[in-house]
Structures are given as structure tokens and as C-alpha cells.
Amino acid sequence: MRQFFEEAYRGGFTPWEDAGRLGHAQLDRLLVRELDERPTPPGRALDVGCGRGEHALALAAVGWRVCGVDYVASAIEQARAREGSEAVEFVLGDATDLPALVEGPFDLVLDVGAMHGFTPQERVAYGRGITAVAAADATMLMLVFAPGAPAPLPAGMTRTDIEDALPAWRVLDVEAVDTTGMPFPAVPVHWYRLRRS
């Protein structure tokens, strides 16, 4: 998958970014809820699988101190070149080894389609890493495909898969994503909101 993403970012083929722009109102509402529940300034946020940094920059613009992580070098290079990027720490590295890449604690973790592409073993490592760098009362927002999308798209996850990979977290909310007009597969897509317990 890494080679696919490297070539996609280099060539400008990023349908997931197009989908993000179409679905920004829903994500904006979810992030406003997190702001409303936090003191001002809101704290630290970690954007896992940050790509070219669109969400990381948006978080920084409303006061979060943000770190974005991605394993695609060309995406991180492009993120660092964007206007406003000096407000975000962009880190190149493997999200299944987060404690080696970033120092917590983070109050908010944003995962817009990273974990659902991992193997079961990678999910366990990712879950351990997220827990290690998260604050005791951290919130996590995850965009997740249900299983069933055709290859080479992400394998997807069920709620049970998420809970198994993140045993130190509890699911607070699950919200369906309206995929009308988005280049998503014909499988359900959901936002999961979790709290470290």
C-alpha cells in the first residue's frame, strides 16, 4: 500500500481528499463538539495518516497544538510546504510505532481512514501506540469503512475489530457518513468517537 500512496500523492491522484472536502461539514461538526468540551486553548491533537495535512492545518487554525504523522514521504513533504504548516509538526513514520515517533500526551486523536487499512497484527500495535501517547481522558475520532470493499481498498473494520484493537478505549458514538457523491466503495462508512477509559 505504501508504494500506491507514494505514487498517488506524487501524481495528484487523491480521491480520499476529494471525499474529505465533500464530507467536511460532518467532520467540522464533530470537531466543534470536541472544542466545546475542552478548555481554551483546547490542547494537543494527533492526526494519524495526515497525508498532505489538510485536517492537521484545520485543527491548528482553531487552536489545537497539532502533530501530523504519515508514512508517505511525498505527502509529508507537501504538507510541510503548505501555507500555515509552521503551526504543525509533521512527522514521517509508521503509525504502528507511534511512541517512537511522537511524545504525548495528546488530548485528541484523529484517524481519517488509517487504521481500517491495517492488518490485524498492525491494528494491535497501533492500538498500543495510540494508548501510550494519549492523555488519560483523550478522545479519538475515526473514519472507518465496514469490511467488504474490493481490493486494493482498505479491508475495513467492524465495531468489534475496533474494540479489540483499542481495549483501553470505549466507543461513545457511531455516526453514519453520507457517501453520496463520494468516491467511496459501496460499503457503509462511519465515524467512531472513542474515549480513553
* pLDDT on residue 3: 58
Per-residue pLDDT tens over the stretch 109-126: 999 989 998 999 999 999
CA distances from 89 to 6, 25, 139, 174, 178 (A): 20, 25, 20, 29, 31
In angstroms, how far is the first alpha carbon of the chain from the final one? Answer: 32
Choose among 180, 101, 182, 171: nearest CA to 141.
Answer: 171
* Out of 19-28, 45-54, 144-153, 169-178, least confident range: 19-28
* pLDDT on residue 9: 56
CATH topology of domain 2-196: Rossmann fold (3.40.50)
pTM of the model: 0.88
Placement of cell 507537501 in the chain: 78
At 179, the pLDDT band (50, 70, 90 cuts) reads confident
Q: What is the mean pLDDT of the chain?
A: 87
